[in-house]
């Protein structure tokens, strides 16, 4: 730029303006001798400072230029220099003025340097604010609930917060030094995310919103995540990517629980309506069956019957009695029979049931293991019926084991001490997934005709329900089956719990 010729009047104003400037201003030669100064710089000096080295007039000045003098930088680079990093250094004397320096060129050479001081306190405040806001941002990222991971374009991780550390198992130091963004995804996940980020279809270019992808932790386990990510631009150039990682494991677990509860609810509804139907049919059958039994007995007693006819009537009587037993079981399922409810020790009931069964020949090659927790409290119930529950489940297990394998019976107390849990598992042939939803239905059986009525588990279900409990089965075909039962612990003091 061409020099603007100053008129005398202009020059006078310029000098006045420099003098009115309320900070110290010096003009020095490249050898640090003072060429000119404003009025404020003269304050405190009785003799003229012109011609003296600038470091001479500084409070505590030494033999040569100060160690961090900005003029040195100007002489080296030809550019203005701010001794910024020392401005907030309290060791710097507030009297020192060599904070900002810029060159005055003549014929392409540095002819002189202007030295200015600044309001130290103001600079210090700016710096403090900068540090504070940086610290605040850092805190914000580190205390975020979601994992925050930023990486540069080579994949090097540059931000990794606490939540990311918890989710992945890497320490912040490990993440910043030892791994890249590619290590926190399964397979080619990082590339996939980058591709999505660069396309328009997932929240706009440079953005990816609520994208479900599999992350990978330090142990190599898969962590399903929901990812919000964006590209970071600086002056229009892509410089990094930042991602907010939300761990979906809890959400998925809750979803599964909910689905399971819904299935149980449906099952309970279905069983309740079947119970009503079974009770209706049973009552309808009860009267004619009683009639058949009564009149058959009468005929058998009152007439001198030939032997053949008597034998036939005995068969009628036997079959009618069997039908009556089935009706009785149906009523049991529909909870229409009276019970003798009192506090019961479930471990004792299980032991007695196992004792009755284990000597039967079908159990000879079955390894029965009991893990009965002594601490389980009493439950309120009918000993006979509870025994019936365990007997039915154990007999089914024996059938599934075809006489050989392992049967495990375990009791335990829930963490909140309110529920007694019973688990009965076998290593038998298991139940196919499409059969499980039906096993508690009355008359559902996979056994050949004459081997099973399909009433066993429906009665079990009815009894467990009437004890305020719950039952469900889990199975893997070829591996075995486990029945899980829960009964409310009887409240101590009144000797009984709530009955459903
Ligand atoms: N431990 C088990 N392993 C494999 N399948 C089982 C097991 N327990 C029950 N089942 C399946 O559930 C079905 C229903 O059982 P449930 O006890 O209600 O009837 P059942 O045993 O067939 O006849 P019963 O009325 O004589 O008991 C069985 O037919 C069988 O397919
Ligand atoms: Mg059975």
C-alpha dihedral over 136, 142, 148, 152, to 10 degrees? 70
Share of the chain above pLDDT 90, in %: 49
Mean pLDDT of the residues in the chain: 86
CA distances from 342 to 69, 146, 380, 462 (A): 94, 52, 5, 18
More confident residue, 497 or 398: 398
Residue with CA closest to ligand 1 atom 20: 454
Residue 442 beta carbon below 6 angstroms from any ligand 1 atom = no
CA angle, corner 311, sides to 309 and 317, nearest 5? 105
Rounded Cα distance, 79 and 71, in Å = 10
More confident residue, 463 or 426: 426
Share of the chain above pLDDT 70, in %: 90
Q: Which of 440, 412, 427 is nearest to 475 (CA)?
A: 427
Residue reference for tokens 């005709």: 449
Tens-digit pLDDT profile for residues 146-198: 999 999 999 999 999 999 999 999 999 999 999 999 999 999 999 999 999 98
Residue 426 beta carbon below 6 angstroms from any ligand 1 atom = yes
Rounded Cα distance, 6 and 500, in Å = 104
Residue ranges in 336-444 assigned as alpha helix (H): 346-358, 383-401
Given this model, what pLDDT does residue 118 score?
64
Given this model, what pLDDT does residue 66 score?
74
Query: What is the CB-side half-sphere exposure of residue 362 using CA atoms within 13 A?
Result: 13
485 φ, ψ (degrees, to nearest 5):
-125, 150
Contact 472, 480 (CB under 8 A): no
Rounded Cα distance, 91 and 321, in Å = 107
Given this model, what pLDDT does residue 62 score?
65
Distance linking the first and last C-alpha atoms of the chain: 97
Domains and CATH numbers, the chain: 8-123 (3.30.450.20), 143-247 (3.30.450.20), 251-337 (1.10.287), 339-500 (3.30.565.10)
Residue 452 beta carbon below 6 angstroms from any ligand 1 atom = yes
Which of 457, 462, 475 to mutate for ligand 1's pocket (most ligand atoms within 8 Å of CB)? 457
β-pairing, 405-413 with 366-372?
Answer: parallel
Three-class SS of 469-486: CEEEEEEECCCEEEEEEE
Residue 329 beta carbon below 6 angstroms from any ligand 1 atom = no
Classify burial at 380, counting beta carbons within 10 Å of its beta carbon; exposed 0-12, middle 13-18, buried 19 or more: buried
Given this model, what pLDDT does residue 368 score?
96
């Amino acid at each position: 730029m061409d020099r603007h010729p100053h008129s005398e009047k202009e020059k006078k104003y310029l000098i006045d303006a420099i003098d009115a400037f309320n900070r110290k201003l010096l003009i020095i030669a490249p050898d640090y001798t003072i060429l000119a100064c404003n009025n404020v710089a003269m304050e405190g000096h009785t003799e003229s400072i012109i011609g003296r080295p600038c470091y001479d007039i500084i409070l505590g000045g030494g033999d040569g230029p100060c160690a961090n003098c900005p003029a040195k930088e100007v002489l080296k680079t030809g550019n203005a220099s701010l001794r910024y990093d020392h401005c907030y250094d309290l060791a710097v004397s507030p009297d020192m003025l060599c904070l900002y320096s810029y060159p005055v060129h003549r014929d392409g050479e540095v002819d002189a340097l202007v030295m200015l001081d600044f309001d130290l306190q103001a600079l210090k405040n700016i710096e403090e604010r900068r540090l504070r806001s940086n610290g605040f941002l850092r805190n914000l990222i580190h205390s975020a609930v979601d994992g925050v991971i930023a990486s540069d374009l080579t994949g090097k991780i540059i931000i990794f917060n606490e939540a990311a550390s918890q989710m992945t198992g890497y320490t912040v130091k490990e993440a910043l030094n030892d791994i890249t963004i590619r290590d926190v995804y399964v397979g080619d996940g990082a590339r996939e995310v980058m591709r999505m980020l660069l396309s328009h279809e997932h929240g706009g270019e440079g953005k990816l919103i609520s994208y479900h992808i599999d992350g990978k932790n330090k142990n190599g386990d898969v962590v399903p995540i929901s990812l919000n990510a964006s590209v970071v631009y600086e002056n229009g150039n892509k410089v990094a990517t930042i991602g907010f990682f939300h761990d979906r494991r809890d959400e998925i677990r809750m979803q599964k629980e909910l689905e399971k509860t819904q299935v149980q609810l449906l099952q309970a509804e279905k069983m309740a309506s079947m119970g009503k139907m079974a009770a209706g049919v049973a009552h309808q059958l009860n009267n004619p069956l009683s009639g058949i039994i009564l009149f058959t007995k009468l005929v058998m007693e009152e007439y001198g019957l030939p032997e053949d006819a008597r034998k036939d009537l005995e068969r009628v009587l036997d079959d009618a009695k069997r039908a009556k037993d089935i009706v009785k079981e149906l009523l049991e399922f529909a909870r229409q029979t009276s019970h003798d409810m009192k506090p019961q020790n479930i471990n004792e009931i299980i032991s007695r049931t196992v004792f009755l069964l284990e000597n039967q020949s079908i159990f000879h090659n079955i390894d029965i293991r009991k893990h009965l927790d002594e601490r389980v409290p009493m439950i309120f119930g009918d000993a006979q019926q509870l025994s019936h529950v365990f007997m039915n489940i154990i007999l089914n297990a024996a059938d599934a084991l075809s006489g050989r394998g392992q049967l495990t019976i375990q009791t335990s107390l829930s963490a909140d001490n309110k529920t007694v849990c019973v688990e009965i598992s076998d290593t038998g042939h298991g139940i196919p997934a499409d059969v499980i939803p039906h096993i508690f239905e009355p008359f559902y059986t996979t056994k050949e005709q004459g081997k099973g009525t399909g009433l066993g588990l429906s009665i079990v279900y009815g009894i467990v329900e009437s004890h305020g409990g719950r039952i469900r089965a889990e199975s893997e075909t070829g591996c075995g089956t486990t029945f899980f039962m829960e009964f409310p612990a009887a409240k101590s003091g009144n000797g009984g719990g709530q009955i459903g």
